[in-house]
C-alpha cells in the first residue's frame, strides 16, 4: 500500500554576489554559544571555471582557520563575549566572497532570551528570540519551543528559536524551553503583558495561572532523525500527462545512493539523481515513518499515537548541484487515519513562477504563496512547520530557508482516503525540466519532529 499523491575584515573584501556564495550551516547568526564553536559551511562559484580554492574563518578581524576545500568543518575555541566572525572563500581566479556572523560566547549553559524581556509589555504577535546551550549532552540541543499559558505553541529544531507568538490581551505566562538529544530539558519562564485594546480577546478568556507554568510534556516533542539513512524508502516515477506511478518508467531513470560523505554535513548524506528523455517527468521518494510499514518500529497497531499528533516540523539540509535545471523540488508530510487524508505538500516551484506553493487537499491543485523560493546552489537549510486542527483541517504555518522565516498561515480542509490507509510519511520529490536534464541533489540531517 502506498500513501502518496501525484504530485570587518583585516583585508579588503569583495561583497558576496549572486554568482558566488558561502553557505553557513553552523553557527547561526546571533546565536549564544559555549566557548567551543562549531563552524560548518560550503562555498560555490560560477565566475571561476577552476572553482573554489580554499575557505577560512575570521574572528574579530583575525584569520584563525583555513582549509583548501569547498567545504569547511572545524571547531574553534573563542573567549566569552561578543564576536564578529566571517566565513570566507577564495577562488582560483582571485575572487572572494564571505558571510558575516555575529555570535556571543558564554561560559555558562542554558537558555539565553533576546526577546521578549521578562515582565515587559509587548504587542501580539510577540517576537520570541532565544538560543540554548548545554554542557551535559555531547549531541547538543535538539529543539526549542514556547508555551503560552500552559499550551505548547511552537517548536523549532536546533538551538536557535525565532518565532512570532500570538498572545491574548492581558498577562500571559509564557515559557521558553529547550530539549537536548540526550533526553534533558530546561526552561525559563517569561511573563509578558499585552495592553488591553491592542489585540482582540477570545470569546472566553481563562484566568492566567498565578505561578509560572510547568510544561505539560517534560519529555518534549518526539524527533525522528537522519531519515535520509532509513532503509525502507520507496520510490516511483510519474510521467506526464497523467502522472500515474511507475517503476520502471520508460524514458525516466533515477538513482538513490545513501552513505555519501561529500558533499555532506553529517558524513552520511543521500544522493538523489534523475535523468531521461520524457520532459517534465518526476520522481517521488516516500518514507513511511509511523503506522503501516513503519521504518522506525512505530506501527501504532492500537491506533493511539497518530490520532494524538497535531504538530509537525520537516527539517533538512539540502544540497543543490544545478538549480538552473531544477524545475520543482517538493517536500511533504502526509497523514492518514479513519478515512481522512492530510497531505502537507510544499514545493519550490523554481522554473514556473519562482515561488513556494502549497497543496490544496480538496482541489488537489497547488496554491501559490507570496513567498519567493530562495534556495541556491550548494547547501541550504529548510524547515517547514505544519499543524493539524481538531477538525483535521491542515494549517501551513511557516517556511524557513537559510534562517529566513516566511509566515504562510493558510488552512485547507482534508480529503477522503480508503479506511485501511493508516500512517505518516515523509516525502521528497524532484521534477524534471522541459528537457528532463540530468539532475542531482542531496539530503542530509533530514528529521521529522512531531507532537
Mean pLDDT of 277-293: 97
Residue 236 and residue 97 in one domain: no
Residue 192 and residue 264 in one domain: no
Q: Of 71, 105, 139, which residue sits at a domain end?
A: 105
pLDDT digits (tens, 9 = 90+) for 59-105: 988 888 888 889 998 888 888 788 889 999 888 888 888 898 888 88
Give me the pLDDT at residue 220, please: 52
pLDDT digits (tens, 9 = 90+) for 402-450: 888 899 999 999 999 999 999 999 999 999 999 999 999 999 999 999 9
Residue 325 has a CB neighbour count (10 Å cut-off) of 17
Residue 14 pLDDT > 50? no
d(CA 75, CA 343): 40
Give me the pLDDT at residue 1, please: 44
Residue 11's pLDDT band (boundaries 50, 70, 90)? Answer: very low
Residue 332 pLDDT > 90? yes
Q: Of 183, 218, 253, which residue sits at a domain end?
A: 218
Residue 261 and residue 399 in one domain: yes
Residue 243 and residue 115 in one domain: no
What CA dihedral angle connects 335, 290, 267 and 427, to 10 degrees?
A: -30
Is 31 part of a structural domain of the chain? Answer: yes
Residue 63 and residue 173 in one domain: no
Residue 36 and residue 114 in one domain: no
Residue 209 and residue 129 in one domain: yes
Residue 130 and residue 29 in one domain: no
Is 3 part of a structural domain of the chain? Answer: no
Question: Average pLDDT, whole number, for the chain?
Answer: 86
Strands 378-388 and 328-337 come out as unpaired
By the 8 A CB rule, do 182 and 146 touch? no
Is 261 part of a structural domain of the chain? Answer: yes
pLDDT digits (tens, 9 = 90+) for 337-374: 999 999 999 999 999 999 999 999 999 999 999 999 99
Give me the pLDDT at residue 8, please: 29
- Phi–psi pair at 352, nearest 5 degrees: -140, 55
Residue 9 pLDDT > 80? no
Residue 335 pLDDT > 80? yes
Give me the pLDDT at residue 76, please: 87
Is 362 part of a structural domain of the chain? Answer: yes
Dihedral sign for Cα atoms in the order 319, 323, 329, 331: positive
Whether the bond between 116 and the residue before it is cis, its omega within 30 degrees of 0, is yes
Give me the pLDDT at residue 440, please: 98
Range of weakest confidence among 139-153, 301-315, 339-353, 377-391: 139-153
Q: Of 201, 218, 235, which residue sits at a domain end?
A: 218
Residue 315 pLDDT > 70? yes
Mean pLDDT of 194-207: 54
Residue 266 and residue 402 in one domain: yes
Mean pLDDT of 300-325: 94
By the 8 A CB rule, do 113 and 129 touch? yes
Residue 333 pLDDT > 60? yes
Q: 301: domain CATH number? A: 2.60.120.260
Mean pLDDT of 203-209: 35
Report the SS3 class of residue 323: helix
Q: 62: domain CATH number? A: 2.60.40.10
Residue 108's pLDDT band (boundaries 50, 70, 90)? Answer: low
Is 4 part of a structural domain of the chain? Answer: no
Residue 328 and residue 397 in one domain: yes
Is 12 part of a structural domain of the chain? Answer: no
Residue 161 pLDDT > 90? no
Give me the pLDDT at residue 212, please: 38
Residue 269 and residue 403 in one domain: yes
Number of compact structural domains in the chain: 3
Residue 244 and residue 182 in one domain: no
Mean pLDDT of 282-289: 98
Give me the pLDDT at residue 149, please: 87
Q: Which has the higher per-residue pLDDT, 49 or 239?
A: 239
Give me the pLDDT at residue 219, please: 44
Residue 10 pLDDT > 50? no
Is 9 part of a structural domain of the chain? Answer: no
pLDDT digits (tens, 9 = 90+) for 228-264: 999 999 999 999 999 999 999 999 999 999 999 999 9
Residue 20's pLDDT band (boundaries 50, 70, 90)? Answer: low
135 class by beta-carbon count within 10 Å (0-12 exposed, 13-18 middle, 19+ buried): exposed
Beta strands of 261-351 (E only): which ranges? Answer: 269-276, 282-291, 311-320, 328-337, 340-349
Q: Tell me the pTM.
A: 0.58
Express as a percent the part of the chain with pLDDT over 90: 57
Residue 205 pLDDT > 80? no
Note down the domain range covering 189: 110-218
Is 64 part of a structural domain of the chain? Answer: yes
Amino acid at each position: 500500500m502506498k500513501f502518496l499523491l501525484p504530485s570587518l575584515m583585516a583585508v579588503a573584501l569583495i561583497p558576496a554576489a549572486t554568482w558566488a556564495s558561502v553557505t553557513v550551516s553552523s553557527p547561526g547568526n546571533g546565536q549564544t554559544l559555549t566557548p567551543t564553536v562549531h563552524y560548518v559551511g560550503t562555498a560555490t562559484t560560477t565566475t571561476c571555471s577552476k572553482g573554489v580554492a580554499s575557505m577560512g574563518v575570521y574572528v574579530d578581524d583575525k584569520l584563525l582557520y583555513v582549509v583548501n576545500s569547498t567545504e569547511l568543518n572545524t571547531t574553534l575555541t573563542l573567549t566569552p563575549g561578543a564576536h564578529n566572525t566571517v566565513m570566507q572563500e577564495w577562488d582560483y581566479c582571485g575572487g572572494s566572497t564571505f558571510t558575516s556572523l555575529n555570535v556571543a560566547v558564554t561560559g555558562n549553559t542554558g537558555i539565553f532570551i533576546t526577546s521578549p524581556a521578562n515582565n515587559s509589555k509587548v504587542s501580539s504577535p510577540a517576537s520570541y528570540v532565544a538560543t540554548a546551550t548545554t554542557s551535559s549532552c555531547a549531541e547538543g540541543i535538539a529543539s526549542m519551543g514556547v508555551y503560552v499559558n500552559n499550551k505548547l505553541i511552537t517548536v523549532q529544531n536546533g538551538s536557535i528559536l525565532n518565532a512570532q507568538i500570538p498572545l491574548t490581551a492581558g498577562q500571559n505566562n509564557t515559557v521558553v524551553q529547550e530539549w537536548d538529544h540526550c533526553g534533558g530539558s530546561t526552561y525559563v519562564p517569561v511573563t509578558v503583558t499585552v495592553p488591553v485594546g491592542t489585540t482582540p480577546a477570545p470569546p472566553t478568556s481563562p484566568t492566567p495561572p498565578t505561578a509560572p507554568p510547568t510544561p505539560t510534556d517534560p519529555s518534549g516533542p518526539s524527533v525522528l532523525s537522519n531519515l535520509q539513512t532509513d532503509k525502507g524508502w520507496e520510490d516511483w516515477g510519474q510521467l506526464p500527462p497523467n502522472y500515474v506511478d511507475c517503476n520502471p518508467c520508460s524514458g525516466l531513470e533515477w538513482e538513490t545512493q545513501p552513505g555519501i560523505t561529500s558533499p555532506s554535513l553529517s558524513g552520511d548524506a543521500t544522493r538523489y539523481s534523475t535523468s531521461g528523455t520524457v520532459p517534465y517527468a518526476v520522481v517521488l521518494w516516500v518514507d513511511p515513518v509511523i503506522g503501516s510499514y513503519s521504518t522506525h518500529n512505530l506501527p501504532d497497531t492500537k491506533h493511539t499515537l497518530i490520532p494524538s499528533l497535531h504538530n509537525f516540523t520537516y527539517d533538512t539540509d539540502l544540497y543543490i548541484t544545478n538549480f538552473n535545471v531544477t524545475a520543482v523540488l517538493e517536500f511533504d508530510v502526509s497523514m492518514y487515519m479513519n478515512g481522512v487524508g492530510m497531505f502537507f505538500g510544499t514545493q519550490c516551484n523554481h522554473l514556473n513562477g519562482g515561488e513556494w506553493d502549497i497543496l490544496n487537499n480538496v482541489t488537489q491543485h497547488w496554491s501559490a504563496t507570496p513567498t519567493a523560493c530562495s534556495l541556491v546552489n550548494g547547501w541550504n537549510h529548510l524547515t517547514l512547520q505544519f499543524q493539524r486542527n481538531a477538525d483535521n483541517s491542515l494549517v501551513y504555518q511557516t517556511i524557513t530557508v537559510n534562517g529566513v522565516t516566511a509566515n504562510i498561515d493558510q488552512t485547507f480542509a482534508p480529503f477522503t482516503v480508503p479506511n485501511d490507509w493508516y500512517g505518516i510519511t515523509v516525502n521528497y520529490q524532484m521534477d524534471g525540466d522541459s528537457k528532463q536534464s540530468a539532475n542531482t541533489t542531496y539530503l542530509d540531517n533530514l528529521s521529522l519532529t512531531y507532537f
